[in-house]
Structure formats: C-alpha cells, structure tokens
Amino acid sequence: MKIQKEIIEFEKGKSFKLFSPSLKNCFFWHYHPEIELVYVEALNGIRHVGKDISGFTESDLLLIGSNVPHLNFDYGIQTECRQLVVQMRENFLQDIILPVPEFGNIKRLLDRSYLGLSFFGETKNIIIEKLTAIKEKNSFESLMGLIEILQILADSSEVKELNQEDTRIKWFLNDKIRMGTIYDYIHENYDKKPNVNEIAQIVSLSTPAFCRYFKKQTNMTFTDFVNNYRINQAKIFLLKDYSVTEVCFQVGFESLSYFNKLFKQHTGETPSEFKKKHFKAIEINGRIGSITRDSACNR
C-alpha cells in the first residue's frame, strides 16, 4: 500500500490518452510524471491529491500535476460511478505547449497543476461535454479538442487549489509509514470506534508520534479525519433514502444532535436539507428526462 509509480503506456503516434478506468475495490495511491485531467461522476466520493483529503458530491473535475501522489477517485465508491481520464505524455508541456507563444495561459495552468486544481460550476459542465466529444474524434481533432479544453481551464476563475505547498513525490518518499494501512483501518472501523492507540500500534508508532505524523500528512487530526470520512459516508446513505436517524448510527455517531451539528459544519446544511435538495434535483432531472423522451416519441 505504499505509494506506487504508475507506468503509463501510450499508443504510437499519440501525445495523450483518454480512457475510463475502474479500480473501485483497489487502494491505488500512486504518482506518474504525466499530467492528468480527471472527471469522476458519483453520488459521493473522496479525493486525495497530495496532502489534500476532501469529499465531493455528484462529480469532480481535477487537474493533477506531474509526480503528485493521488488516490484513484473511485476508491470505496459503492454506487454507480463514471470516470474519464486524460493523461498527457511527459513531454507534452515541453514539446507542445512551450514552443507556442499563444499557449502562454495553458503553460501557466500546467505549471501550477502541481498544487492539484479542482474546477467547478459552468467550467466543469463545459469540459465534460468536450471530453465526451473528443472520444469520438480522430487523433488530430482530439488533440485540438484537448488544447481547447486546456485553454478553457486556463481562462477559468471557477477553480480551487487543493494544496498550498509542493507535494510532489520527493516530499512523500521521505515518509516511511504506509498511509494505505491507515486508510484501510479507518474504512473498516469508521462505523464503530476507530482507536488512535490501536492504529498507532499497527503502524509501529507511539500514539503521540502517530498523531504528529498523521497531522503532517493530512493537515487534520485523526479524529477530524474520521469524522470527515463518516460525513462523506453519511451522504451516500442519505442519497440512498435512509432516514437521518438511521444514517447517524449507521456511520458511527451516538448522538443525533452532534451528527446534525457536525454535518452542517462540513457541508453548510443539515442532513435533512442535504437530502431534500438532492432528491429534488433528482426529481427535476427525472421530469426533464421524461419530457425529452415523450417529445422524441411524438416527433
């Protein structure tokens, strides 16, 4: 479960690859010199890019720089999941972008991708349409489509930097503890009572040393991380139409009032509000889909 270097193979004559991976049941914490653009669509999931560990709901669009460790974004997702991944050859920036003055904004975008960039709003909607479209095009047209996508991302203000410091692989290689062991322990025990003393013993550290290590790796305390994980799992159960009370105990909280308070701190809304908003969106989308199908039948 240590960080692995992924060896990426490209088709001859192509400067990038676009594909839909599936590693749901695999903890693949990895890095590669190729810059990567990832779109993932799921009810709920966890992103881990560099030192940033956070959740997403419905979908996520990420640009990940060269040699930045990241977890596969479908890890642990138990619901339907869709992914599109673009991986650009190691020399993509050097050979294709740098020589062209008009690509100045794209160069700056790719230069700061080492921080991990999450795009949202209309930018995300536009990009997924264009990513889907270039899958059907020939090599030249798909490359032009990718350049257009990068230009849109470069010009967008709908972006969040996930890390505030350089977390490329050199930083992580100094770490001798395997974060995968800790992730697995939390995943297996989040609905019970994860014990910091127990996991410290598993990874052969004293409890104080483990707490310092974990905070350095994640910018979170062990307790905060476990609660964050629980809230992300709670979203999945809420979207499966479990009651708020059922979800509270399902994810390991013993107090409904504390669960409601913590959920609102993490998401800005109560569990009931979250559930109502997303089910309303599903209902609206369902009606739109029905109207579209009916219109098609009447033509």
What pLDDT tens digit does each residue of the chain (299 aa) get? 567 889 999 998 899 999 988 777 777 888 999 999 999 988 778 888 988 888 888 899 999 999 999 988 887 776 778 899 999 999 999 999 999 999 999 999 999 999 999 999 999 999 999 999 998 899 899 999 999 999 999 999 999 999 988 888 876 666 666 677 888 898 889 999 899 999 999 989 999 999 998 988 788 899 999 998 899 889 888 888 899 999 999 999 999 999 999 999 988 999 999 988 877 655 544 444 444 444 444 44
Please identify which residue in the block is written with the tokens 């949202």.
Answer: 120
Strand partners, 85: 19, 38
Going along the chain from its start, the domains and CATH numbers come out as: 4-161 (2.60.120.10), 175-277 (1.10.10.60)
Write down the pLDDT at residue 297. 42
Task: Confirm whether pTM is higher than 0.95.
Answer: no
Write down the pLDDT at residue 285. 47
Write down the pLDDT at residue 173. 63
**Looking at 65-174, which runs of residues are DSSP E strands?**
70-71, 81-88, 117-119, 159-161
Please identify which residue in the block is written with the tokens 């992924």.
Answer: 6
| 102 token code pair | 């008009």
Q: Is 52 helix (H, G, I), strand (E, B) or coil?
A: strand
**Cβ 43 vs Cβ 79: under 8 Å:** yes
Beta strand 52-64 pairing with 70-71:
unpaired
* Long-range contacts (CB closer than 8 Å, 24 or more residues apart) made by 208-214: 213/177, 214/182
How many CB atoms neighbour CB 232 within 10 A?
A: 21
Write down the pLDDT at residue 176. 60
